[in-house]
Amino acid sequence: MRPIEKYVEAMENKDFAGLAELFTPDGILCDYCTTSASQQEYHIYGKEAINMFFRNKFGFRRYSILDAEVVNDEQAEFIANFGGYNIMAIATVRETDENGRIQRLTVRPK
Protein backbone atom coordinates (compact mmCIF):
# COMPACT_ATOMS: atom_id res chain seq x y z
CA MET A 1 0.00 0.00 0.00
CA ARG A 2 1.31 3.48 -0.91
CA PRO A 3 2.00 6.03 1.86
CA ILE A 4 -0.91 8.23 0.74
CA GLU A 5 -3.29 5.26 0.97
CA LYS A 6 -2.02 4.45 4.46
CA TYR A 7 -2.48 8.11 5.44
CA VAL A 8 -6.10 8.12 4.24
CA GLU A 9 -6.83 4.82 6.01
CA ALA A 10 -5.38 6.08 9.32
CA MET A 11 -7.28 9.38 9.05
CA GLU A 12 -10.59 7.68 8.22
CA ASN A 13 -10.16 5.31 11.16
CA LYS A 14 -9.00 8.10 13.48
CA ASP A 15 -5.93 5.97 14.23
CA PHE A 16 -3.57 8.58 15.69
CA ALA A 17 -0.90 6.01 16.61
CA GLY A 18 -1.00 4.38 13.17
CA LEU A 19 -0.90 7.81 11.55
CA ALA A 20 2.20 8.80 13.51
CA GLU A 21 3.95 5.54 12.55
CA LEU A 22 3.66 6.51 8.87
CA PHE A 23 6.10 9.37 9.49
CA THR A 24 9.85 9.42 10.03
CA PRO A 25 10.96 10.42 13.55
CA ASP A 26 11.44 13.99 12.31
CA GLY A 27 8.57 13.97 9.79
CA ILE A 28 6.57 17.13 9.15
CA LEU A 29 2.83 17.55 8.61
CA CYS A 30 1.60 21.00 7.51
CA ASP A 31 -2.14 21.65 7.23
CA TYR A 32 -3.12 24.93 5.57
CA CYS A 33 -6.88 24.23 5.46
CA THR A 34 -7.43 25.57 8.93
CA THR A 35 -7.01 29.19 7.83
CA SER A 36 -10.23 28.73 5.84
CA ALA A 37 -11.89 27.65 9.10
CA SER A 38 -10.70 30.78 10.94
CA GLN A 39 -8.03 28.83 12.83
CA GLN A 40 -4.25 28.90 12.72
CA GLU A 41 -2.60 26.52 10.26
CA TYR A 42 -0.95 23.44 11.72
CA HIS A 43 2.78 22.76 11.43
CA ILE A 44 3.49 19.56 13.33
CA TYR A 45 7.09 18.38 13.65
CA GLY A 46 8.00 14.81 14.56
CA LYS A 47 6.01 11.62 14.76
CA GLU A 48 5.54 11.91 18.54
CA ALA A 49 4.00 15.35 18.10
CA ILE A 50 1.80 14.02 15.27
CA ASN A 51 0.60 11.24 17.59
CA MET A 52 -0.25 13.64 20.42
CA PHE A 53 -1.85 16.24 18.14
CA PHE A 54 -4.21 13.79 16.44
CA ARG A 55 -4.94 11.93 19.70
CA ASN A 56 -6.33 15.24 20.94
CA LYS A 57 -8.13 16.22 17.70
CA PHE A 58 -9.72 12.80 17.18
CA GLY A 59 -10.49 12.33 20.88
CA PHE A 60 -12.36 15.60 21.15
CA ARG A 61 -13.98 15.18 17.71
CA ARG A 62 -12.32 18.31 16.39
CA TYR A 63 -10.97 16.78 13.16
CA SER A 64 -12.10 14.12 10.72
CA ILE A 65 -12.14 13.43 6.99
CA LEU A 66 -15.00 12.33 4.74
CA ASP A 67 -15.33 10.99 1.19
CA ALA A 68 -11.59 10.43 0.69
CA GLU A 69 -10.29 9.45 -2.74
CA VAL A 70 -6.68 8.68 -3.64
CA VAL A 71 -6.08 10.43 -6.96
CA ASN A 72 -2.47 9.43 -7.71
CA ASP A 73 0.68 8.05 -6.06
CA GLU A 74 1.16 11.15 -3.89
CA GLN A 75 -2.25 12.79 -3.48
CA ALA A 76 -5.69 12.25 -1.98
CA GLU A 77 -8.74 14.50 -1.94
CA PHE A 78 -11.27 14.60 0.88
CA ILE A 79 -13.55 16.79 2.92
CA ALA A 80 -11.75 17.93 6.07
CA ASN A 81 -14.05 18.61 9.00
CA PHE A 82 -12.74 21.04 11.62
CA GLY A 83 -15.22 20.94 14.47
CA GLY A 84 -18.21 21.08 12.13
CA TYR A 85 -16.66 23.31 9.45
CA ASN A 86 -16.10 21.41 6.15
CA ILE A 87 -13.34 22.25 3.67
CA MET A 88 -12.47 20.47 0.41
CA ALA A 89 -8.83 19.46 0.83
CA ILE A 90 -5.99 17.79 -0.99
CA ALA A 91 -3.19 15.98 0.87
CA THR A 92 0.17 15.56 -0.84
CA VAL A 93 3.04 13.33 0.25
CA ARG A 94 5.96 15.60 -0.64
CA GLU A 95 8.83 13.43 0.52
CA THR A 96 9.44 9.90 1.82
CA ASP A 97 12.50 8.09 3.10
CA GLU A 98 14.01 4.91 1.65
CA ASN A 99 11.59 2.81 3.75
CA GLY A 100 8.49 4.58 2.46
CA ARG A 101 7.87 6.55 5.64
CA ILE A 102 6.61 10.09 5.16
CA GLN A 103 9.16 12.86 5.68
CA ARG A 104 6.86 15.72 4.64
CA LEU A 105 3.12 15.89 3.96
CA THR A 106 1.00 18.95 3.23
CA VAL A 107 -2.76 19.45 3.29
CA ARG A 108 -4.19 22.41 1.37
CA PRO A 109 -7.64 23.66 0.46
CA LYS A 110 -8.74 22.45 -2.95
Number of domains in the chain: 1
Domain around 37 = 3-109
CA proximity to 11, closest of 38, 87, 20: 20
Q: What is the pLDDT of residues 90-106, one digit of tens each?
A: 999 999 999 999 999 99
CA proximity to 105, closest of 15, 7, 25: 7
Q: What is the pLDDT of residues 9-62, one digit of tens each?
A: 999 999 999 999 999 999 999 998 875 556 678 899 999 999 999 999 998 888
Q: What is the CATH number of the domain that holds 38?
A: 3.10.450.50
* 0.75 surpassed by pTM: yes
Q: What is the pLDDT of residues 63-93, one digit of tens each?
A: 899 999 999 999 999 999 987 889 999 999 9
Q: What is the mean pLDDT of residues 105-110?
A: 94
How high is the pLDDT of residue 12? 97
